[in-house]
Amino acid sequence: MGKDFKDFILRGNVVDLAVGVIIGAAFGTIVTSLVNDVIMPPVGLLLGNVDFSDLFLMLKAGTKTAPPYATLADAQAAGAVTINYGIFITRVVSFLIVAFVIFLMVRAVARMRKREEAAPTTTKACPYCLSTIPLGAMRCPQCTSELKAA
């Protein structure tokens, strides 16, 4: 069982997946910072000095202090029940950025694969020894067999 587990862990796909998950988590924190610290403050400023993290709809007032609550933190500290749509908007923007970046990466990989497939072949296999030889070769350099003209 130990050898099977070792073989499983050392497979290229598992290691690639682990690297992808770690890079994805790090990328997620960068995008979160981009949205929270770079994108949303100017958007909030354009909309009249709105802090998106403090946009909420109160469903039930808190029992500790009476409304109105200036910030979401105040409402939560009072025990109010809220729908935090400002945080939701911020997370939707973050998701859209991540989705767009993934779209660009998948598109770039697809273009690279397409270029590889479209590249003209410059070699062929020798029909006698199956070694790789140039397309225009008249004699195989490996087995010295004469080849038909291409």
For every one of its 150 residues, what pLDDT tens digit does the chain have, with 9 covering 90 and above?
A: 778 877 777 776 777 788 888 988 888 888 888 888 888 888 888 888 877 888 899 999 988 888 899 889 999 999 999 999 999 988 888 888 888 888 888 898 889 888 877 778 888 999 999 999 998 888 999 899 888 865
Alpha-carbon dihedral 101, 104, 109, 114, rounded to 10 degrees: 170
For residues 142 and 85, give the distance between their C-alpha atoms in angstroms, rounded to a whole number: 71
Helix (H/G/I), strand (E/B), else coil: 139: strand
- What's the pLDDT at 14? 76
- What's the pLDDT at 36? 82
- What's the pLDDT at 58? 93
- What's the pLDDT at 72? 92
- Residue 133 contacts by C-beta under 8 Å, 6 or more apart in sequence? 123, 124, 125, 126, 140, 141, 142, 147
What predicted TM-score, i.e. pTM, was given to this entire model? 0.58
Question: Tokens 């935090």 sit at which residue?
Answer: 84
